[in-house]
Chains A and B, each alone.
Chain A
Amino acid sequence: MASEEAPSGLQIHPMDQFVVKPLFGGDTIYWYTPTNVTLWMALAVLCVVLLLVIGTRGRAIVPSRIQSVAELAYGFVYKMVEDVSGKDGLKYFPYIMTLFIFIVFANFLGLIPTSFATTSHIAVTATMAMAVFLAITILGIVKHGVGFLSIFWISAAPLALRPVLALIEVISYFVRPVSHSIRLAGNMMAGHAVIKVFAGFAGVLGVGAVAPVAAIASIYALETLVAFIQAYVFAILTCVYLRDALHPHH
């Protein structure tokens, strides 16, 4: 609808930045077509490799700057898994480290102007959240068998309340992948859309555009924080779910 307006009017297309386009022209997108999503996800993987593989190649006792950043990230996630999931959760540390570091780089690369925020697509985050959900359900069933169902049966509550609580627990268990994925995608999408809306204001205000540009600068700072916090929240929730799978008895 907005495209029918005169070019001089207020033009805001906050969602145009999320359109998936094939990289090398053409219109149809098959499953193997390289698109801007694939490009920016590959760049995120490239950054991870640069930081964690190339950056730590020296194996120096006194680390270089890049190696100390990599060690900092490693130690941060390691401590998080140990604190939240417990000692026996450390076996699954590589998976959580992979998720965290990939989401961090995908979020930060998405913040570069004219780049593409891959994590703002529910298709991307839902894949990761479903993988976590399936992995944790299978892990719980393999580890505890039928006893895994005691995750829904809260023995600390009064007996009369337990069936009601069990129903609520079942619902909240199966809603996990939904909230897990939309939290990340929604936060990234909303932040980028807000920036685009303010950019639209700047286009028509002339000299007064200073105000929206200043607002964009402050929102951008906030989005940098959000990009990290959402990756942290995604990883820490994975740790919480992992703890539930390892110790289902409340």
Chain B
Amino acid sequence: MEGDIVQMGAYIGAGLACTGMGGAAVGIGHVVGNYISGALRNPSAAASQTATMFIGIAFAEALGIFSFLVALLLMFAV
């Protein structure tokens, strides 16, 4: 019986970890939105900053990945 409660907690925790996706979504949207608004103000400088935008996306996404990692650990490791 106790094992069942632990498993339930792990599943609920894994589901809650998915809310981390929202944070990553906000971060990525912020990065790209600011890139676009900057690019529309100064289109000639936009092309040189695409790589920077992708690096920013990658770093924002990393935090979302950690919530995915927590969900994976709860599902399969705990």
- List residues of A whose CB falls within 8 A of some B CB: 80, 83-84, 175, 178-179, 182-183, 186, 229, 232-233, 236-237, 240
Contacts and interface: CB of A to CB of B under 8 A. Distances in A.
Contacts of A237: 55, 58
B54 A182 contact: no
Contacts of B57: 233
Given A84-B55, A232-B54, 13 more contacts: A80-B51, A175-B62, A178-B69, A179-B62, A182-B65, A183-B61, A183-B65, A186-B65, A233-B57, A233-B58, A236-B51, A236-B55, A237-B58
A69 to B, nearest CB: 21
The 3 residue pairs across chains A and B that have the minimum distance between CB atoms? A179-B62, A233-B58, A182-B65
Interface string B7-47: 00000000000000000000000000000000000000000
Interface of B: 48, 51, 54-55, 57-58, 61-62, 65-66, 68-69
A236 B54 contact: yes
A186 B20 CA distance: 14
B22 to A, nearest CB: 15
B56 to A, nearest CB: 11
A182 B68 contact: yes
B69 A183 contact: no
Contacts of A233: 54, 57-58
Contacts of B48: 83
